[in-house]
Amino acid sequence: MLKNDEYYIKRCFKLAQKGIGKVSPNPLVGAVIVENNKIISESFHKKYGEYHAERNAINKLPENYDFSNSTIYINLEPCTHHGKTPPCCDLIIKKKFKRVVFAMKDPNPLVAGKSIEKLKKNNIQYDFGVLEYQAKYLNRFFIKHIQSKLPYLTIKVAQSINGKIASYNYKSKWLSNELSRKDVHSNRSKYDAILVGTNTVLKDKPSLNVRLTKGRNPKRIILDRNLSLNPDDIYNESNLSDTILISSIKNKNSLKLEEIKNKVNVILVDESDDKLNLKSAFEKIGELGINSIYIESGSKLSSNLLENNLIDEIIIYQTPKFLGKGISLFDEYEIDNPNVINEFYLHKFKRFDDDVKLIYTKINYSE
């Protein structure tokens, strides 16, 4: 069967996903080398700072291998600049590939379309834009960070059939089933950090780690504007070096802050109307190389994020339970102009027994 470009780009996607949790802040990249409708080598970017997918795939073949009849497929434009590793585009040209196919241009201004110029100059055939929107969703964390210096923000929530995340007295727990909770832990491992607000820490005492599946523990980010948390509320895990506390600049001379600063990384930001400047906070977090944040928060923080147009994705685990009177995720969300509506697109849904996982994104990746 003659396989087309989409087939091999899809294979690149699968390979690229093997790097989840290992390559950030770099993008996820897979590479497939094809000759006479047959895959002769393939690989992926395995770890931050190590060789990229293209070089790994090429290095699997003999040094003197003739690539003049080969096509290399990549889900992202091959790099043209020297970073921690040499540029992949130069290697592809050196090996004299017949054709190069990649899914999307690299949003990094150091690369952005420059490989096309090099390939054209060296008479190498090229095509790009194959399954472009799928490629953009795969590397949405990298794209957001490279373009805005901000991390990609995803809010996760489990809610009842009538849209409540908790009972009015916050005594309800585990709205979602075991399969959904396992999926949540899998999601945590894919993000650089997990964020919660003060109320979530006080009410739930969350560990904020990965337990129900294999994967790395994300860094922990806690928003505590007034330093209302006790040290034991924050230092409930051994990974203190991976804990970040965000608080108000007004606390800069607090003795309690000095105690906290000796144990965890502290970011201070200004505030207005009794609310932290969240964009400033995320700009500072982005400077730390954190590309993505998984947010498990209550209504107050979620509403604040939505008001400031900072949310990129919402994951809802819709359960068949009915809570009656209770708390909704965006109960405190307010807009001055009723004609302004935050719009999200349904990207994907999946069933976990009687729970349904719904993924909504700010950008339509289905075009």
The pLDDT profile of the chain, 367 residues, written as one tens digit per residue, is 557 999 999 999 999 999 999 999 999 999 999 999 999 999 999 999 999 999 999 999 999 999 999 999 999 999 987 777 788 999 999 999 999 999 999 998 878 888 999 999 999 999 999 999 999 999 999 999 999 999 999 999 999 999 888 877 766 677 899 999 999 999 999 999 999 988 888 777 777 888 888 888 999 999 999 888 876 666 555 556 688 999 999 988 888 888 888 888 899 999 887 789 999 999 999 999 999 999 998 888 898 898 888 999 999 999 999 888 888 888 877 766 555 567 899 999 999 999 999 999 999 998 6
Distance CA 322, CA 106 (A): 46
Q: Which of 302, 309, 362, 352 is nearest to 328 (CA)?
A: 302
Contact assessment for residue 143 and residue 303, using Cβ atoms and an 8 Å cutoff: no
How many helices and strands, by DSSP H and E, does the chain display? 12, 18
Whole-angstrom CA distances from 203 to 19, 171, 212, 297 are: 35, 9, 21, 11
Please say if 132 is a catalytic residue: no
Q: Which of 54, 77, 296, 307 is catalytic?
A: 54
Distance CA 117, CA 45 (A): 24
What's the pLDDT score for residue 344?
Answer: 94
Contact assessment for residue 160 and residue 129, using Cβ atoms and an 8 Å cutoff: no
Give the strand pairing for 152-159 and 292-295.
Answer: parallel
pTM to 2 decimal places: 0.91
Q: What is the full DSSP assignment across 33-99?
A: EEETTEEEEEEE--STTS--HHHHHHHTS-TT---TT-EEEESSPPP-S-SSS--HHHHHHHTT-SE
Distance CA 136, CA 128 (A): 13
